[in-house]
Amino acid sequence: MRLLPLVAAVLLAVAAACAPGPEPAPPPAPPPDVPADSLLFFMLDVGQGDAVLLVAPGGRAVLYDGGPGENAARDHLQRLGVDSLELVVASHPHRDHIGGLASVIRSTPPSFILDNEVVHTSATYERYLDAVVEAGVPRLGLERRTLTLDGVELEILPPPMEPTWGLNDRSVGMVIRWGELTLTLGGDAEDRLWGWWLQESMVPEGPVQLHKASHHGSRNGDIRPAIQRLRPEVVVMGVGEGNTFGHPHDEALALYREVEAQVYRTDRHGTITVTGWADGRIRVLSERGEGPDDTSAPLPPPCIDLNTASRDDLQRIVHIGPGRADQIIALRPLASVDGLLAVAGIGEARLQDIEEEGLACVP
């Protein structure tokens, strides 16, 4: 990829966000104390979804997820001057993570693809598969492995592939290490997957410099034991402005506050650019907003337990009316939120809405 145009694009974006009036300011000269051998991490602003671009010190690039829109991730890569990709990772086949990958794969075919190998029955997933086949991109087998790019180690964290687990808990995670620098990504991992990764000693002991919030800062994403172990200095999250799920939830923000992490989110900060060095230093720049988000907020009531909640409380969950609330009560006990698929009128799309909202739970 063209590294110098990429850096220039980043600086131009930051300058434009801060410039008064309609005309963008010219890009400033690169800061003199930024060495050439830095690592770049972009939390791309793709709306309500995740797309992360990693650029290793030698300029080789990796894309982790592609956001919900068909062309948003591709357009970001083109603006940043990315003309080649070593690897594309699809954490799991929900639209808000793979919606833009087909366009990226067709415009910039990566050397390799890695996903969670779970077949999904959506048109978005079919477009993704068609693009992989048409581009002839080889797929890496899913296993715990470490890939190396320009001295940067990418440890792949596979899920256990339990067929009864939801797609979020079958996300592919990644730990990025370079010298004293450690970055973590968990897709949309929820409590079961985080618990399994902890059990299998896959979660690094912190403090880590950067953590991508699981499940867009949902209350059923990151869990306390994982965050307490990671102790991230900075948390970034892909969040759509005014999203209907209420992300990020206050419970997640409270977890980050407990470890004194700074929080940056794309709905308020736009694309977030993190420069990292092998000695463990990082620098965070954002398109808009000044400084990290304020995570201080009162906690809302806990999630709605599908096995104990009243008929009225069940109807607070998206897509659940009186009839479906009665069906849920009749189906008790449910083993997981995925058990809602047995309720008439709830398919994969509505189940994803329910999971994204984060109110329904089976403790």
> pLDDT for 309-354, tens place per residue?
999 889 989 999 999 999 999 999 999 999 999 999 999 999 988 9
**All structural domains of the chain with their residue ranges:** 3-286, 304-361
Residue 24 reports pLDDT greater than 80? no
pLDDT of residue 50: 97
Average pLDDT for residues 245-271, to the nearest whole number?
A: 95
> pLDDT for 284-303, tens place per residue?
999 987 678 765 444 445 68
Average pLDDT for residues 66-88, to the nearest whole number?
A: 95
CA distance 22 to 196: 51
pLDDT of residue 312: 87
Structure tokens at 189: 């991992």
pLDDT of residue 343: 96
pLDDT of residue 123: 94
257 confidence band (pLDDT: 50, 70, 90): very high
Average pLDDT for residues 186-191, to the nearest whole number?
A: 96
pLDDT of residue 301: 54
Of these ranges, 30-39, 261-270, 309-318, 354-363, the one predicted with the greatest mean pLDDT is 261-270
pLDDT of residue 289: 73
Q: Comparing 319 with 35, which gets the higher pLDDT?
A: 319
Least confident residue range of 36-40, 81-85, 184-188, 251-255: 36-40
Structure tokens at 320: 């659940």
pLDDT of residue 94: 95
2 confidence band (pLDDT: 50, 70, 90): very low
Least confident residue range of 11-25, 165-179, 257-271: 11-25
What percent of the chain is predicted at pLDDT more than 70? Answer: 87
Residue 27 reports pLDDT greater than 70? no
User: What's the predicted TM-score (pTM) here?
Assistant: 0.76
Average pLDDT for residues 198-212, to the nearest whole number?
A: 97
Hey, do 3-286 and 304-361 end up sharing a CATH topology, with the first three levels equal?
A: no
**DSSP secondary structure of 103-144:** HHHHHS--SEEEE------SHHHHHHHHHHHHHTPPBPP-SS
Ramachandran category for residue 246: left, alpha or beta (phi over 0 → left; psi -120 to 50 → alpha): left
Average pLDDT for residues 231-244, to the nearest whole number?
A: 95
| CA-to-CA dists, residue 65 to 50, 100, 146, angstroms | 6, 8, 18
Q: What CATH topology corresponds to 3-286?
A: Metallo-beta-lactamase; Chain A (3.60.15)
Residue 20 reports pLDDT greater than 50? no
Q: Comparing 297 with 128, which gets the higher pLDDT?
A: 128
Residues 6+ apart with CB under 8 A from 295: 253, 254, 256, 257, 261, 263
pLDDT of residue 7: 44
Mean pLDDT of the chain: 88
Pairing of strands 360-361, 304-305: parallel
Planar angle of CA 8, 14, 15, nearest 5 degrees: 85
Residue 28 reports pLDDT greater than 90? no
User: Span 304-361: which CATH code?
Assistant: 1.10.150.320
pLDDT of residue 147: 97
> pLDDT for 53-63, tens place per residue?
999 999 999 99
Cβ contacts of 62-65, under 8 Å, gap ≥ 24: 62/86, 62/87, 62/88, 62/89, 62/149, 62/154, 63/87, 63/88, 63/89, 63/101, 63/104, 63/110, 64/89, 64/91, 64/174, 64/185, 65/89, 65/90, 65/91, 65/97, 65/98, 65/101, 65/187
